[in-house]
Amino acid sequence: MPNLIYIVQIIVPVIMIAITFSLLQGELFITLKVCLLFLSMLTLIASISYIFSKKTFQNILVYIYHEVSGYSNIDSNFNKYVKRSSIKNVIFIVTIPMFIVTALLIALSGYSSIIKETGNLTYDFYNQELNSLDLPTQTEEDPLEVLSEALSKIEYKKAKVDSYFIIAPDGNITTSNGEELSIFFTKYMNDLSSTQPEKNRTYDFYGDDSQGVFRSVTINGKTWTIGIRYNLVSNTILIGLLSIFAVLFIVNIILLRYFANYIANEIKRVSDALLKIVENRNIDHSARLPVVSNDEIGDLVNAFNEIQDLTKNNINQIHNNQNMLIERERLASLGQLIGGIAHNLKTPIMSISGAAEGLTDLVTEYDKSIGDKDVTEQDHHDIAKDMTSWIEKIKTYTEYMSDVITAVKGQAVNFSSTSNIHFYMDELLKNIDILMKHELKNALVSLNLINNVPSSTYINGDINCLVQVINNMISNAIQSYNGKPNQKIDLILNVKNNNIIIQVKDYGPGIPKEVQEKLFKEMITTKGKNGTGLGLFVSYSTIKAHFNGDIKCDSDKTGTTFSIIIPLPKIDNSNKTDK
């Protein structure tokens, strides 16, 4: 807005003046000089107005910004509704008009001084020439011819421009160049010149650099007026001055443009670097901008470099704190997991203990039967069969315990320590069942498995990472019921568009919309002090980094579904997974 007001204040009045002079049929150079004079004055006034109005508008915008700073999109809306102006344009708008004003005022001031001095010298010269003419008071010849002959003998400074004039007693005017004297010229000569110090000096109308000197003579009893009309500045000189001004103006624009580009580019270096930080999360914060000047722009670049250093240090500290929180969360989950596993191991251990007692009894019985003639061969086979049965039970229990220990060992490693090998769905589901059985049993929640993926389907990656992600989602689903018993959770596996889709669905109260938008973008929890917000954030990062997959959330008041989408290996195994 200040820029528009600034331009209107200058252009509109000058255009109106030019149109007015055109309608009055004023001479071109007079119109030009008047327009230049008004242009310089209006530009000076508009420049002062621009500076104060810009300051006022800036204060208004600052006030409005602070008043509405609570709105999250204030900065984006500001750029949307406030027209952008380049700093180069601002420099041009302020500097070019001031150059024009300065040049025009200097030129007009010098022009005025030259005109005044030249006019005085010319007046003195022609006044002396007129007074030195020896004219008769009586003559039989035509007085007009006598006066014309006398005036033509004067040595004119500008023969092509200066001219003499003769005013007869009857008011008839004769000029040597055939041009008529302006009404203003004769009016000033007849009515105003007598009131001035130089009573025989006259001027043409304002804006015209023509002047005149005159003298009254009496011939044959009648008064004649003779004089010389002279131009102080020719149009050729004026055109030359304007040409010089135009050349200087163009040179000034070129130099100013170079200077404006330099300032704008230096500032743009910093702004581009800042925008790169905003648009790219993986920017190298160790990159520094070179300082090429010891001025305010250099201070700006130094400040940016210092911010880069501080940002790098802060990010490193955040990563360290984040890793510590993740490790603490992992260890806490592992501790809870081990507590459940200990309960799961109690049953097979007791069973193995019972089997060992059974074997001990059989061994004792067999030992007593040695040498007993009543013990038949069939009895020996029966004892061996019972011992084999107990050994099979012990083997089954030890295999289950081995699976439990393997699953726990896999969960004990850090997320960063992953192996990129393929695993099958049956192995994945077995680990989930082993690790979540105790937590589901304690919460009185059942896990409903809907597996539409053939057991031959496999995924490349670390099974432990995926188990941790799914277990975290099942734990969240259990907690969504807030301790209500006899609930269920669906674990659904499908293959679609060459992706494996693993869904964990609960029927709890759902997740608020504002929380859903932030689930995978930052550490956020709905559990108050009981949660760290690391679970889903880390899960999303794990699926992205280790499986090149994605996690989506769909939630309403009837429940929540988390979908893990993992691409199948590039080798086509569609034949293995098609129904």
- What's at 249, amino acid-wise? F
Q: Is 53 exposed, middle or buried (0-12, 13-18, 19+ CB in 10 A)?
A: middle
Please answer whether residues 479 and 516 qualify as being in contact, where contact means their C-beta atoms are separated by less than 8 angstroms: no
* Mean pLDDT on 44-65: 72
| Residue with the two structure tokens 């790219």 | 280
| 487-496 and 445-451 beta bridge pairing | parallel
The number of CA neighbours under 13 Å toward the Cβ of 259 is 11
Q: Is 515 exposed, middle or buried (0-12, 13-18, 19+ CB in 10 A)?
A: middle
Instruction: Report which secondary-structure segment, H or E, holds 151.
Output: helix 143-152
| Residue with the two structure tokens 């277990």 | 471
87 pLDDT above the threshold of 80: no
The pLDDT confidence band at residue 76, using thresholds 50, 70 and 90, is: low
563 pLDDT above the threshold of 60: yes
Structure tokens at 439: 């937590």
CA distance 233 to 211: 11
pLDDT given at position 412: 57
| pLDDT tens digits for range 197-248 | 889 999 987 666 789 999 999 999 999 999 999 988 766 666 777 787 788 7
| Residue with the two structure tokens 């680990």 | 431
Q: How many whole angstroms from its chain centre is CA 504?
A: 40
pLDDT given at position 68: 63
pLDDT given at position 4: 66
| 210-219 and 222-231 beta bridge pairing | antiparallel
Burial 172-203 (b: 16+ CB within 10 A, else e): eeeebeeeebeeebbebbeeebeeeeeebbbb
CA distance 564 to 425: 14
| pLDDT tens digits for range 299-318 | 777 887 887 788 778 777 87
Top pLDDT among 359 and 174 is at 174
Structure tokens at 397: 């229990």
29 pLDDT above the threshold of 70: no
- What's at 45, amino acid-wise? I
CA distance 89 to 87: 5
Structure tokens at 245: 């001004």
| pLDDT tens digits for range 508-540 | 998 888 787 777 765 444 454 444 344 677 788
Angle between helices 28-67 and 87-131 (to 10 degrees): 150
371 pLDDT above the threshold of 90: no
| pLDDT tens digits for range 275-284 | 776 666 556 6
pLDDT given at position 533: 40
Please answer whether residues 560 and 554 qualify as being in contact, where contact means their C-beta atoms are separated by less than 8 angstroms: yes
pLDDT given at position 28: 67
User: Is 0.85 surpassed by the pTM of this model?
Assistant: no
